Structure 1
Amino acid sequence: MTSITRNLPWFIRDLGISIVGKKCYTSLIENLDIGDVECIKYSISKGLGIGIVVGGSIVKVPQLLLIVRAQSARGLSLPAYILETLSYAITLEYAYRNEFPFSTYGENLFLTIQNVLITILIILYAPRVASTDKTANAVIASLGMLVFFLGCSLIPLPMLAVLQLTTLPLSLFSKIPQIQQNYRAQSTGQLSAFAVLSQVLGCAARLFTTATEVGDSIVAAGFALALVLNLVLGAQLWMYWGRDDVEAPAAVTEKVKARASPAPAASTTSTSVPAYKPEPASWQRAATPPPSSPSLGGRKWARKVD
């Protein structure tokens, strides 16, 4: 068997070496040494990393399509996406400046781009805002994020390490507004289940790849916190699945009371009952002249006698 694996075409050999390195390629592919635990863990980490990068390039496309099709960003928190975008950008720049393998952070590039687009769409589809104001806000937000990205690429590396520490509270505060909004509305609105599930799996895999290939505790702590918060969002998706936005409890209570209360019945006391009048005595009936006909103007007529 080794005679085959040692004579694979050059393009397969070069691809394998570029992914797992010459040492692990020789051990696992050419020599078929399945007892090399270190190379097996490294190869699994590389495979997961490449899968995450490829998945990260499309993970938020369903969220973008949901917003565009519905022409609404209902249920999505603007502060949450702004803070999440900043966190992705800092992690991307920190990993790039420290020359980490691209397979350990590449998805941050695609997630940052997709988050910028989602943030702009949230602004453009904001309710009760004039169209000119929406456009101006979208332009300002885009320019602000661009300036921030350029600033991260210019600051010294020690300061960038401090910024990487801030991704921990950024991750926390980027998810809390979305979690609170879901809880208040008892609905997840246009939040994409595919995006949340992919982020849960991606964060779990990133903990493994970071520990195997990078060993940076700051980056690992960020992924661990993001995993916990994405699990909370996943639990909310499960609990509120199929629900639409609900009204405030007070308004719902008033509507339920209004529907439950019967229509007011007609009051029996308001019906006019004719008062009792005693029948006149016989002598009164005889003395009372017959009523005159109203159509004849009250005049009396007698039979004409010839």
Structure 2
Amino acid sequence: MSAITKNLPAIIREPAVALIGKECYVSLVENLNVSDVECLKYAVSKGLGIAIVVGGSVIKIPQVLLVVRSRSARGLSFAAYVLETISYAISLFYSARNQFPFSTYGENLFLTLQNLVITFLIVLYQSPSSSHQSLSTRQPKKPTGVLFAAAAAAVAIVLTFVPARILSILQLLTLPLGLISKFPQITQNARAQSTGQLSGIAVSAQILGCLARLFTTATEVGDSLLTASFALALLLNIVIGGQMLAYQGNEEVKETTMDLSEKRAEAPHVYSPTPVAASAPMSVPSSPTPRSGTPQGGRKWARKVD
């Protein structure tokens, strides 16, 4: 078997060496030394890291499609997504500035971009309860969209040029920021007893991603700030996942009630004339006034001319 593993083609060997290093490649692949715990953990961490980055590039797509398809952002907290996006962006710039392996933070790039899209959709499609307009006629607020784009660009510029020392402080702030970012969503879910248009696929993927990222960060980076951030995110995502399970039966009732209220609001008003009361007496036309000289009710005589 080792004769095969030592003569693998370059198209397989070179990417594997680039991923786990020459030493671990020789130990795990060429020598088939599965007892090398350190290299084995490193290889598993690299594999998980790549899987997380690839998954992170599409993890929020179900949420985007759900909002666009229903043309409603009901149940999504604008404040939660804004704070979460800032937290992702800070971690992205912090990891890139410290030249950590891209496999340990790459999903933050895609999560930041996808969160920007979702946040803009929340602005675009206001909650049905906040407007009397139907979902089909609701129009985007252009000034709000422009301000939103300008704010996002300003945050990116600041994080790009901020000194490394301040960026480390900002990364430390992602711990309370991550905590605060989930509270509006958790509170909104608890108040409404529903998770609205929140995607169960996205929440489940975030829980699994946080679990995997805890392992990769501890194995490859060893940064206590990042580890604490992922641990906190895992805990809060589990809370939201528990809410989705607890409020699962409430979704259909709320959606049915909402659809009925919208149909009543959009139904055209049909004019119905006021019916004539049944007890009202029917008016009888008065008999014509008799001509003078003709007795009323008598017989009219004509002279016979010979």
Q: Same fold (TM over 0.5)?
A: yes
* 1:35 Cα offset (Å): 1.1
Please name the residue that 1:7 is paired with.
7
Please name the residue that 1:193 is paired with.
200
Contact between 2:94 and 2:171, CA under 8 Å: does it hold in 1? yes
Structure 1, unaligned stretches of length 5 or more? 248-306
Q: Which amino acid aligns with 1:175?
A: K
Distance in 2, Cα, partners of 1:37 & 1:132: 58
Q: Does 1:90 align with 2:76?
A: no
Residues 202-239 of structure 1, C-alpha deviations (whole Å, 9 max, x = no match): 00111100000000000100000000000000000100
Q: Does 1:125 align with 2:142?
A: no
Distance in 2, Cα, partners of 1:65 & 1:245: 19
Distance in 2, Cα, partners of 1:207 & 1:32: 27
Instruction: Please tell me the root mean square deviation across aligned C-alpha atoms, in Å.
Output: 1.5
Please name the residue that 1:253 is paired with.
none
* 1:53 Cα offset (Å): 0.3
Figure out how many residues of one structure are paired with residues of the other and give that number: 247
Q: How does 1:154-173 map to 2 (within 5 A)?
A: 154-173=161-180
Please name the residue that 1:290 is paired with.
none
Q: How does 1:55-204 map to 2 (within 5 A)?
A: 55-127=55-127, 128=130, 134-204=141-211
Residues 45-89 of structure 1, C-alpha deviations (whole Å, 9 max, x = no match): 001000000000000000000000000000000000000000000
* Percent pairwise identity: 58
* 1:145 Cα offset (Å): 1.3
Q: Does 1:207 align with 2:214?
A: yes
SS class of match (1:244):
helix
Q: Which amino acid aligns with 2:38?
A: E
Contact between 1:207 and 1:224, CA under 8 Å: does it hold in 2? yes
Contact between 2:125 and 2:140, CA under 8 Å: does it hold in 1? no
* 1:244 Cα offset (Å): 3.0
Residues 234-278 of structure 1, C-alpha deviations (whole Å, 9 max, x = no match): 00010011313989xxxxxxxxxxxxxxxxxxxxxxxxxxxxxxx
Please name the residue that 1:230 is paired with.
237
* 1:133 Cα offset (Å): 7.4
Distance in 2, Cα, partners of 1:74 & 1:46: 38
Larger radius of gyration, structure 1 or 2? 1
Please name the residue that 1:32 is paired with.
32
Distance in 2, Cα, partners of 1:173 & 1:146: 22
- Per mean C-alpha deviation after superposition, the further-off stretch among 133-142 and 16-25 is 133-142
SS class of match (2:75):
coil
Please name the residue that 2:23 is paired with.
23
* 1:118 Cα offset (Å): 0.2
* 1:21 Cα offset (Å): 0.9
Residues 134-190 of structure 1, C-alpha deviations (whole Å, 9 max, x = no match): 221122112101110111010111110000011011111110000000000000000
Structure 2, unaligned stretches of length 5 or more? 255-306
Distance of aligned partners of 1:183 and 1:245 in 2 relative to their CA distance in 1, 3 Å threshold: farther
Q: Does 1:240 align with 2:238?
A: no
Distance in 2, Cα, partners of 1:245 & 1:221: 37
TM-score by length of 2: 0.78
